[in-house]
Amino acid sequence: MLAKRIIPCLDIKDGQTVKGTNFVNLRQAGDPVELGKAYSEQGADELVYLDITASHEGRKTFTDLVKRIAAHINIPFTVGGGINELSDVDRLLNAGADKLSINSSAIRNPKLVDDIAKHFGSQVCVVAIDARNTASGWKCYLNGGRVETDRYLYEWAKEVNERGAGEILFTSMDHDGVKTGYANEALAHLSDTLDIPVIASGGAGKMEHFKDAFTLGKADAALAASVFHFGEIPIMKLKEYLHEEGISVRL
């Protein structure tokens, strides 16, 4: 059985790590290179860096940051934000990233998923999906959760799976930052219907939430931000707890 992965997520704004609640009310959480290095040393399996206000002007800054991260950490890391074309993928992989996460650009241009998989391999392409549970079902959102789309979580996840995505990173906007647990029912549905790994995101507040994401939600990896950034859950303690609960993790 493959080990379950623990992934700290660092949202980057103006070169600094920030964290919010339900995608708003951002507060500073520290230097992204120093935090990444600390997580690498503390036993994190991977890292995700998201340039949450990515714009044309921010691309150079973020590329330089990715180079600095690659020079200081020795675990795989994914970067996302402002990736709209193959040249962006090429630039960030050359800067040292292991995988790329695309979200809004994939919904606007689904063929981008096919193109990344074809040119760089499926393992490089992580499709992030931000969704909110509405009266008509789980709807997907663009632009950091600001714009509702006409796409639904399950059919969109299935489509990108078929187009060649290597992983799905599903964030429940309803659960983001509120620390009441992950959206396990939706996670389980994704895990049952897709043949690629599913990363759970949004809702971690205590160690039991990670266990639930792996057992009830059947997730392959669990991503969290504030509980790690503000020292509420030490990564090694979390892994020891999961191991004691019979969940396969790398210790």
Active site residues per annotation: 11, 130
User: CA-based angle 150:151:154, to the nearest 5?
Assistant: 150
Q: Count the Cβ atoms, other than its own, within 10 Å of residue 153.
A: 23
- Angle between helix axes 153-163 and 184-193 (nearest 10 degrees) is 40
The secondary structure of 106-158, three-state, reads HHHCCHHHHHHHHHHCHHHEEEEEEEEEECCEEEEEECCCCEEEEEEHHHHHH
With contact defined as beta carbons under 8 Å apart, do 106 and 82 qualify?
Answer: no
Helix, strand or coil, per DSSP, at residue 83: coil
